Amino acid sequence: MSETRQFISTFRSIFVNAGVFSLAINIALLAPSLYMLQVFDRVLASRSDETLLMLSIATAGALLMALALDYLRGLLLQRAGALLDRTLGRRVLVALIRNASNIQRRENLHGLRDVATLRGFLTGSGIISLFDAPWGLIFVVLIFLFHPLMGIVAVGGMLALLVLALINERMNRTKVEAVQDRARRAGQYIDKGMANADVLNSMGMTVPFVERWHALNDEVIASSLATSRVMSGVTSLSRFVRQFIQVAVMGTGAWLVIDQHVTPGIMIASTILLGRALAPVESVIGNWNNFVLARAAWTRMKPFLDEDAAAAPTSLPEPRGELSVEAVTLAGRTAMQTILRQVSFQLPAGQSLAIVGPSASGKSSLARLLAGVWAPTHGTVRVDGADVRQLIASGHGRHIGYLPQDVELFPGTIAENIARLGTVDAERVIAAAQRAQVHELILRLPEGYDTRIGQLDYILSGGQMQRIGLARALYDDPALVILDEPNANLDAEGEASLVRCIRQITHDGVTVVMVTHKPSLLDCIDRVLVLREGRVEGYGPREELLARIAPQRVAPVAPVTPVGPSRVQEA
């Protein structure tokens, strides 16, 4: 069963119960209309105090029952909202994170806000109106039983409101979604600016940045005002239609009373019944924007839920770290861009590999493929014969260590970050820090391994983050470690510690793949792979490859002849 069907099945009973409650509530709310009918036609005519008392008690009881049922229905829908958040929140977040690591990822401007939108809809007044609106037919049928002419007028009013609802749907559906998308884009633009505030402030970019945001915000305001004008017009017209139809029914009833076709009680009761029948329809129109947003949120979430509904993969044995790359090709976001072309090599378990090459040759992209972050367009990356992404999906992600080029740590303690946000095992955390040669650095922090980091806590330098990120990659004794420019933010001491770390873990049998530009790190590496324009230009033992590419790296220098001020000699 797909995740979407499972979700619908889980909530079907809740919605059915809410519908039953709505039916009982609306039947109970017939009491005031019937009370009016009996008072006008029986009590006033008979002047019976006992009849008035009994009718009042019965009506009060019906209203109390409606109150209790309405309260229970509200609790039921609130529980449904909380259950939806618990059910969808985790799954949608997993799907969003997986999508964010995909080179062909879909743009997602809403994220977990879609879950909040659905939860808000389930606990708001809009869904109550949707549950109540169908039962308005009961009130219209009663009006028909009182007199067909009044029933025809009531049906005409219902149809008029339904036509307004359809007009509102056609005119506002795409506009409401467009307003939300523009607002999200403007919000994301602000988030980018706050994350790069140092750049904006240091280079005088604040004013241009604010002007660009102002232009985006003007688009949001303009589209929002256009949508609001239409919505306000439809809402105002629906109120007019409702009041006009109620007046029409009362006028029709008064005419029938004059001709003695119905009693005054029927006239008053029909007017009240019609008001009750039209109220939820008018409320649906007033809350139509919320309905459109909830429907759009559900539509956006369904692909993520279906992606996450795959059957659990077969458990695989723990990997040893033997790496095999088989004719891997990686396409970019556009069909015209190919990042990697037919890359193939094998690396035995326990050996180390350096990936080198000029900028934009595909080194970091290959590192992401090896770590299972991206999936190749063609070909396969295997660890011990298994596809690396299947290996991670089967629960062996802890056996792979990955240090990206741009290291980010999460709010929490140093120990929690090293432990990959799992349960902190002090011995394994310290062992990983010691292997990464960062144990002493951590001890010098204010609270050692318990130092909390983040924007509102202790702020680490780029080099400290990189070294702690290396400890995180080495946590729990991984079989394969991928390091993308691990010395980008390190000083000489940090680089020396990195070399010692690589020598130690390769001695321990860990397979290491490192992307680097610095020849000083190649002394601790067994093999070298040279990439150029996405293709393998060379692969083999370090000494052999370095000897082969060394002549290419030394460019001939033309002799320089002194020249006078009036003469230029070309080299």
217-263 confidence digits (pLDDT tens): 888 888 888 877 877 887 788 888 888 888 888 898 899 888 888 88
Q: How far apart are CA 213 and CA 202, in angstroms?
A: 19
* pLDDT for 108 beyond 60: no
pLDDT at 245: 86
Asked if residues 436 and 502 have their Cβ atoms less than 8 Å apart, the reply is: no
Q: Which two tokens stand for residue 290?
A: 């919320």
317-332 confidence digits (pLDDT tens): 788 889 999 999 998 8
Specify the higher pLDDT residue, 440 or 2. 440
DSSP 29-84: TTHHHHHHHHIIIIIHHHT-HHHHHHHHHHHHHHHHHHHHHHHHHHHHHHHHHHHH
Q: How far apart are CA 385 and CA 323, in angstroms?
A: 8
pLDDT at 470: 93
Phi and psi torsions of 414, nearest 5°: -60, -45
Q: Which two tokens stand for residue 114?
A: 């879609």
* pLDDT for 98 beyond 80: no
Over residues 117-135, mean pLDDT? 82
pLDDT at 68: 93
Q: Is beta strand 386-387 parallel, antiparallel or unpaired with respect to 400-403?
A: unpaired
Q: 343 falls in which pLDDT band (50, 70, 90)? A: very high
68-94 confidence digits (pLDDT tens): 999 998 888 888 888 887 777 777 777
Tell me the one-letter amino acid at 15.
F
* pLDDT for 472 beyond 90: yes
* Closest by Cα among 127, 40, 135, 34 to 77: 127
Q: 135 falls in which pLDDT band (50, 70, 90)? A: confident
Q: How far apart are CA 102 and CA 396, in angstroms?
A: 19
Q: How far apart are CA 18 and CA 24, in angstroms?
A: 10
Over residues 138-164, mean pLDDT? 86
Specify the higher pLDDT residue, 169 or 417. 417
Q: What angle, rounded to 10 degrees, do the helices at 288-307 and 3-28 form?
A: 150
pLDDT at 1: 47
Asked if residues 351 and 79 have their Cβ atoms less than 8 Å apart, the reply is: no
* pLDDT for 171 beyond 80: no
Over residues 461-480, mean pLDDT? 91
Q: Is beta strand 323-331 parallel, antiparallel or unpaired with respect to 412-413?
A: unpaired
Q: Which two tokens stand for residue 362?
A: 């595909």
Q: Which two tokens stand for residue 56?
A: 């009042």
Helix and strand tally (H, E) in the chain? 20, 12
Asked if residues 459 and 482 have their Cβ atoms less than 8 Å apart, the reply is: no
Q: 100 falls in which pLDDT band (50, 70, 90)? A: low
Q: 199 falls in which pLDDT band (50, 70, 90)? A: confident
Highest averaged pLDDT of the listed ranges 30-34, 42-46, 114-118, 436-440: 436-440
Q: How far apart are CA 3 and CA 9, in angstroms?
A: 10
* pLDDT for 449 beyond 90: yes
Highest averaged pLDDT of the listed ranges 97-106, 134-143, 441-450, 548-557: 441-450
402-441 confidence digits (pLDDT tens): 999 888 888 899 999 999 988 899 999 999 999 999 999 9
Helix then strand then coil, % of the chain, to nearest 5? 65, 10, 25
Q: How far apart are CA 138 and CA 134, in angstroms?
A: 8
Distances (CA, A) of 60 to 20, 53, 66: 21, 10, 10
Q: What percent of the chain has pLDDT over 70?
A: 89
Tell me the one-letter amino acid at 106.
R
Average pLDDT of the chain to the nearest whole number: 82
* pLDDT for 400 beyond 70: yes
Q: What percent of the chain has pLDDT over 90?
A: 21
Q: What is the DSSP letter of 520?
A: G
Q: Which domains does the chain have, with CATH numbers?
A: 3-306 (1.20.1560.10), 323-549 (3.40.50.300)
